Amino acid sequence: MTRALVLGGGGVTGVAWELGLLAGLAQEGVDLAGADLVVGTSAGSVVGAQVCSGVPVAELYAAQLRAPRGEVAARLGAGVLVRWAWAGARGRDAVRARARVGAMALAARTPSEASRRAVIAARLPVSRWPAGRLLVTAVDAASGEFVVFDAASGVPLVDAVGASCAVPGVWPPVTIGDRRYVDGGVRSAVNADLAQGAAAVVVLAPVTSGFGSMPRLPAQVAALRAAGSRVAVVSPDRAARAAIGRNVLDPARRAGAARAGFTQAAAVAGEVAAVWG
């Protein structure tokens, strides 16, 4: 049986909540780290690279509880969200909509690529692609093309993850070759459809909303189920949403989000185990 773990976007707190949930599920006897396929988008790409690295999930969770160091605080403010929504919501052509968001990202004033790359590198336990199958999503900033990086892409892991985490208007697009890339969440906050064909799919989705022509998670899940996959979707519960707060890019909220994910695991373990087998 092929089992897929899909990890969605959600900022610094999304990374923390997902790792807390994974650690809590492991304590409940549900080990998602053994997935045959891991799909990571934005925050999920960081978690995917960490989980596939071979470092025990308990250690990854414990690291989220420590005081953040070297993390640059940022804010996904209303102005950025409005510009992103305005650029992406006009018209029905999804690729053109993503290109408009990419153009906004290319024009934005952000920290340097080098400084951001150092932050991403510090989050990854390894610098090489793991042996397991890991897919990392991104979007070509100029063309709007949806791109999926893997070990065969010839792209350094840190650059693939950096591209997937390049929130438009907040962090700089990532240069790979002669192209520049932005957050995989520009296409979908989760990109669960990349798990097509897996018998069992567990989706951890800190964020489930979208706008304009973005594929919605419910539609992606319905398509997976229609194709025969068993699917469980877990999103933050009320306590986790309170711990995460309004700014998902605030490192100060990280430990609380991680603990909330760990606590939530007990309530969802049965549902997840029923799918995972």
Separation CA 118–CA 121 (nearest Å): 5
Identified catalytic residue from 42, 164, 229, 235? 42
Would you say 27 and 56 are in contact if contact means Cβ atoms under 8 Å apart? no
CA 84 vs CA 79, 89, 214: distances in Å: 9, 8, 12
Would you say 19 and 60 are in contact if contact means Cβ atoms under 8 Å apart? yes
Separation CA 62–CA 64 (nearest Å): 5
Identified catalytic residue from 45, 159, 164, 183? 183
* 219: Cβ contacts below 8 Å, ≥ 6 apart: none
Would you say 81 and 119 are in contact if contact means Cβ atoms under 8 Å apart? no
42 is catalytic: yes
Would you say 18 and 206 are in contact if contact means Cβ atoms under 8 Å apart? yes
Separation CA 204–CA 131 (nearest Å): 22
Separation CA 85–CA 79 (nearest Å): 10
183 is catalytic: yes
Q: Which residues are catalytic, by number?
A: 42, 183
